[in-house]
Chains A and B, each alone.
Chain A
Amino acid sequence: MSIQANNPHQILSAGLGWTRLEIIFWLALLLPFVLTPSYLSLASQIAITALFAVSLDLILGYAGIVSMGHAAFFGLGAYTAGLISKAGWGEPLTGLVIAAALAALVGYGMSFIIARFRHLALIMITLGLGLLLHEAANSASWLTGGADGLQGVKIRPLFETFKFDLYGTTAYAYSLAGLFLMFLIARRLIHSPFGLALRGIRENWTRMPAIGADSQAHIRKIYTVSAAIAGVAGALLAQTTETVSLEVLSFQRSADVLVILILGGAGRLYGGIIGAIIYMVARDQFSGVNPQYWYFWIGLLLIAVVILLPNGILGGLSRLTVRWGGTWR
């Protein structure tokens, strides 16, 4: 590494620019349109899951706040988008904004609880709040359709032009654009003074007040942002599939996104995206053979990652590339 030890500005600018690898990565995400046009629906789901993982990364990977119930915001976004379209407002972009706003609002409310707790109590409370919302949606079947899912979601064409067709062309373009846009926001946030403060909280929560920081205010803010992005991801799923099932709020979904993020590498911005691609493609491949035992391999993988690869796949890769002279952030 060729960082000038005596130039402070260079030290803090290192690694913030767009690398060639990053640009190639994003361009490669356009390839499915050409190479695998029959898999665009899957590609769209991957983009949505990746976005959900990015939202979790902001709180877990950067601020070190564990959440066992992040599906709450994903589900909230999905139901909001589904319900307003069912009520006759099928325009997708405004639907997305409304879903994000509602998820942000609920996230902001919950952040006052979240910011006060750490450790086991935090794990239990996030788990409990997630389950609570899942049960509430299950009980309120007059609104949500309960276990049967929300029926009758109809989304208008994007920009009144591009229909959400069966092939998923519009769906993937829409989801990918959503992912990219939100990613840009997350990327900027991570590289900002606020991003540094979040890493400070992750690195040493108790030290923050001693440098005059209001950690709880920081946590409330990032939790709200994360909830909004998770809401966008949920809304994208509802709009592109035109259904909302109770599963969007389930513990399984919270656990899955956690697994995806840990697998890819938390606190690395691209970890969630890489994790989502590997996880979803593998699930698609394996589920044909043996749907029941998918979780066996996921479980084994999880054990292996925790024991052998503490920073996820990207962490392992970056250790390799550092040895070879490059960096991958």
Chain B
Amino acid sequence: MSSALSTKGLQKRFGSLVVAQDIAIELPHGVRYALIGPNGAGKTTLINLLTGMVRPDAGSILLGDADITALSAQTRVKRGLVRTFQINTLFPQLNALESVTLAVLEREGTSGIWWRRLPVHRDAIDEAFGILRSLGLADQCHRPTREMAYGEQRLVEIALALATKPRVLLLDEPAAGVPKEESAGLFTAIAGLSDALTILFIEHDMDVVFRFASRIIVMVSGRILVEGTPAEIAVDPRVREVYLGGVQHD
């Protein structure tokens, strides 16, 4: 069986700065991957490349068996490759329910309908509400997102992504800015997502990484250093080198 998402020889440079060099990854279906590495290792750039927000200089990206290297960002989303952002990028004045309903409507291709009132689309609204409820946001969803607590906004990010019915979900530091005691809850919510979903998440907190990831990819200076199970990564001398003695990589 082919993998859910894979890349071959992905390259990107900004001027003289190489941010992605010969990146080859292969994410099997349903696996929880953590992407770790020091600051500036190119983790977010990799997500930008995978989701089409940045164009690679060379290499290819495959979603399932299909080559998606040339597709636009929104087409990749429609095909099931979806991301969240490190910093909240929400719709500040829309409430959470409106935001997630919009994502559902976009997925259904009904967002262009202008002659019917929104409440008529009961199924889309129910689906959006269901997603919000599953993330524990049911009684917050009438509030404009900009008025919600930061941790709740992080959950709305994830709700937006889920509403697009992803096959592969890329989470860029889903718990960034969330207090440590709340981030466990957030990752529990992520861990509770469907097993059919392939997830790659960037995270700095090693406790969280080792608890929730089934495999780990370590990136350094735009390259993949090593890939393996948490147990393998924990004892890998190269990883120790990067994290303990690797000040020069920061």
- Enumerate chain A interface residues (CB-CB to B < 8 A): 3, 5-6, 8-9, 11-13, 16, 188-189, 191-197, 199-200, 203-204, 206-215, 217-218, 221, 225
Contacts and interface: CB of A to CB of B under 8 A. Distances in A.
7 contacts: A8-B125, A197-B105, A204-B91, A210-B85, A211-B103, A211-B163, A212-B78
A209 to B, nearest CB: 4
Contacts of B121: 193
Interface of B: 51, 72-74, 77-78, 82-83, 85, 89-95, 97-99, 101-103, 105-107, 110-119, 121-122, 124-126, 128-129, 138-142, 160-161, 163-164
Nearest to B126: A8
B74 A221 contact: no
Nearest to A216: B74
Contact of B119 (A9, A199, A218): A9
A194 B119 contact: no
Contacts of A210: 51, 73-74, 77, 82-83, 85, 89, 160-161
Interface of A: prevailing SS? helix
Nearest to A187: B117
A16 B119 contact: yes
A12 B89 contact: no
B128 to A, nearest CB: 7
A194 B108 CA distance: 13
Contact of B114 (A194, A204, A209, A213): A194
A312 B119 CA distance: 28
6 nearest A-B pairs in the assembled complex, by CB-CB distance = A212-B77, A203-B91, A8-B129, A194-B114, A209-B74, A211-B103
A316 to B, nearest CB: 17
Q: Which of B83, B98, B126 has the most CB of A within 10 A?
A: B98
A188 B121 CA distance: 14
A12 B118 contact: yes
A107 to B, nearest CB: 16
Given A12-B118, A194-B113, A212 B97 contact: no
Contacts of B85: 207, 210
B91 A218 contact: no
Contact of A211 (B106, B112, B117, B138): B106
A199 B94 contact: yes
Contacts of A195: 114, 118
Given A193-B105, A200-B99, A210-B83, 5 more contacts: A193-B112, A193-B121, A196-B118, A207-B85, A207-B91
Q: Which of A9, A12, A195, A204 has the most CB of B within 10 A?
A: A12
A3 B142 CA distance: 8
A113 B232 CA distance: 53
Nearest to B145: A203
A203 B146 CA distance: 11
A12 B97 contact: yes
A100 to B, nearest CB: 16
Contacts of A196: 94, 98, 101-102, 105, 111, 118
A11 B106 contact: no
A299 to B, nearest CB: 29
Nearest to A211: B103
Contact of A212 (B106, B112, B115, B124): B106
A193 B97 contact: no
Nearest to B108: A193
